[in-house]
Chains A and B, each alone.
Chain A
Amino acid sequence: MKRTALTQKLLVLGVDGMDPRITRKFLAEGKMPNLQKFIERGSAREDLRLLGAIPTITPPCWTTLATGAYPGTHGITCYWRQSPESLDAVVYNMDSRNCTAEQIWNITAEAGLKTLVWHWPGSSWPPTSHSENLSVVDGTQPGSVNMGVAQLDWEKVIVASPEIKEVRYAPRVDKPAGVGCIITDLEDSLDADVDDEMMELWWGDTAREGGEIRTFVMDDEDTEVVIGSKVAYDIVNSPLKDATGWANAPEGAKEFTILTSGGVMRRPALILKNEAGEYDRVAIYKNKKAEAPIVTLERDKMVSGIIDDVTKKEVTKPACRSMKILELDPVGNKVRLWISNALDIANDQLWHPKSLFGEIVENVGVVPPVSLIGGEDAELVREIFEPSWVQYNQWQADCMNYCINEKGYEAVFSHLHNIDCAGHQLWHLGKTLSPWDHTDEKTYQGFIEKFYIQTDDYLGEFMHLLDEGWTVLVLSDHGLIVGENVPPIIGEYGGLNTKVMEDLGYTVMKKDENGNSIREVDWEKTRAVQIRSNYIYLNIKGRDKYGIVDPKDKYDLEEQIISDLYNYRDDRTGKRVIGICLRNKDAVLIGANGPECGDIFFSVEEGYNRLHGDSISTSEGYFETSVSPIFVAAGNGIKPGFTTERTIRQVDVAPSVSVLLGLRYPAQCEGAPIYQIFSEDV
């Protein structure tokens, strides 16, 4: 098949979690001028919406965008994959080898276009084409490049004052909002084991190795919005005193101590006076004998690219950190300092070809760490979390522009995670509900705005491409809502959701001596379980390890469960919480059928859904939010200033890329080109 290309160069600017509904609010307020220009110079629907694939979960949706196939077809149906061994366990799923549909970037590379896949969290790693035109960077987790494999040390807040008498270190402290960072009871603050790599932190080494993970979501405390908004970081307390024993300490400097690397690495630091006699800088040294500091920090300025040795598991490596002064008393009686997680500056494990890593480091810079602390602590969100993403966004934009301008890439498929990362920590605080009524929704709505503004700045970094013959697609996998209610315990993607299914009598948990449920399923009494975002599995004899349901009763039991789920009412409001509920064979209507989709697919009803993932993509939330993804196209081959009424589905993106570049469609593609927006009839 031959077709004339409408463009020779195409960039997909993916922004995880970008929601067209709230985007339109910020556009109307004039806060997203760069996106406004893309819209004016290109095509989109009036509402900017893309109809999202189901489930509205990151890896399935990015895989749909890459393949043009529905999740039931490409087989990536949640963040997790169901364990083939156990109904109550999941295994990791961000592995391209699990994908049963062809990715568009293999087609562009094999057709001779130099292709870059940049941190695409859906079936991109490991590379699935041998074409030497294909480069792939990470894609094994959605956070930021290298986050999953290069992390050597965790984030820390250091507090030093004259009242503190000795250096103390407390790893990974869950800090309730508003409580100062002074270690008062070390025994209570210590975890048994503390890991630093994100994969270890989240799920343990077993996850990376493909082992089973069992997570039980039994009450509000187990839900992501509660867990995600807790702020956990290492705390170091140090005396602050006159500098003694230094090779080169300026007049009037006071010293304190920073501990890193699980407490084994120590860096002496000084607070320094300015000409007016006020303390306004912090200098950090390798040791007291060092002539020059590793870095000197000024007030209100985050510094990244700080290279220092970090020890992890008895191995010492140079790592990149960011740092910022949180508070510095001008008369020198207190200093508070944040230091970021540390990223190994030499880890090229997830770069293909590996030479690209070296070129990026040399020409753009080392990968800057992003902060993952903030949550209910508004100061940390304002001072650390949001600005760390601004720095990362700039680095990523610089990397992609370097690859485009200097390396001659012609097709670029990219993903940025800033909005989704913030969404999972903060968005639920955009409405003040009772469990988090110690926070202020206006403050958090302001943070939502800041993340959209920084996204607009990122998009602006690529505006020049429209004048250089490129086609640019701005799109997302899903949006995130600010919840109207505290979500019910069903549909949480992280594991086995027990409460609703226990209430309905289908899942039975083992009990302790007081009759309370423990975190173990009683398989002899369990007829069905709800696991991952939207799936219910019956416990069938002969099929499942501990099956008790006769296969001939399966159809009737499915009907009973569907009926009970529709009748289930939220115990706080008395309203229905289940949206749609379909047998596997019927879920083909929404592309959520087949062997990876359980026996029953269900969604959580609008108003009761969590950030994203459990509802259908048309759900809307508080503060003009929605679960819908966004789509805007501009540049060569796209009608300028055009508004279409066409419903644009996520499966339509990959075949549209095919048409724009004059290439064949992906093998399992189920979508259709968005021909209405093309500049020529095809």
Chain B
Amino acid sequence: MNMRIVIAAASLAVLSSTAHAGCGINAGSVRIGGNDFPAIQAVSGAAKACDGGGVTVSVDLNKDHKDRQVAALTANPAEFTTSIINNSALVALMNDGLAQPLDDLIAKHGKDLQAMQKVTIDGKVMAVAFMANAQHLFYRKDILDKAGVGVPSTYEEVLAAAKAIKDKGLMDYPIAGTYSGWNLGLEFINMYHGHGGEFFKSGSAEPSVNNAKGVATLKMMKALTAYMNPDFLTYDSNAVQADWEAGNVALTNLWGSRAGAVTDGEGSTAEIESNTMFASAPTVAGQSIPATTLWWDGFAIAKNASGADAEATFITMMNGISPEMAAANVDAAPWLIKGAVPQPTDAGVLASAQGGAKPYPMLPYMGAMHSAASAEIVDFLQGKESAEQALADLEAAYIAAAKEKGFL
């Protein structure tokens, strides 16, 4: 008797799941791998709803996804049929030819995509972008008011505001920055862009950062660290967010995808959250463009996925980045999806983009430059060597790595 009920219930469950799930896909295996932050959790959660009825959808998010995706997609069949990537991570896949062109799939299943969502390289769509991201200014309105300064629009004003806050005894360390490891390299890249610098000699992979703009970039970074917690070299985005939510910081240059997280009513007080405002990344040294880089997040489909799996994956991901998903998670990110309305938390990213901030360079050898910057400017920030020496070290470390990778 009992057995019969169980069987009936089970078959009912199977029937109902085939009726609702599957997103119209008959068969296939969809394996999603990606970075782990709220916006990507929203996308992969919506994609996971397609699970069932012949198609299986698995999701594996990890904050170190960029370090594992090349190995995962090199395997045949690929460990992940789709990798959720950004401009930098796509380059790593392109360097090894691990992503497949999406033009045919878009023609069949991607009619809702906007033109700007299609990341086209040499005429072929290699990825579909669904959100924008950039590091931009977060500021505490109440603290700036008490210190009697306006919202800074240049880094020189950021320094002046920090000095006013410190002099009035409002905070000991008014500025925070993501100054550890890979993040430190990105802060250098952002600030160097803001100074109008070029990383490579035109048309080659030869480095060209050891110049007056490079020195000015390092001096500005060092000036900012004077107003940071002495442990600044150990701060990543999580640490900066925690310090912000604890009310220890009034000015920081943090990711747009953290704007929702610091105003979500959790982990902080209402007073801090209601006074947390967002603005464009500041400009520096009299230049006109914000000192930041623009990023997009999107998905690419593995070359080593079978035709059926690739199609199932594409349809699943289109469900993941549907306008309904964006409408249900408005605060999670500045969505690039059709019909998405900009939110107050998107203001910083949008203002930075409108201000003319440059996208993070999609060059095959940019990763080597980034790694060298992360490692070699530490000595200067600790006061152990001159800016010129740090930049010479940066170039030397880059050249050694680029030679080994075959770029020089």
Say whether A associates with B.
no
A interface residue numbers (CB < 8 A to B) = none
B interface residue numbers (CB < 8 A to A) = none
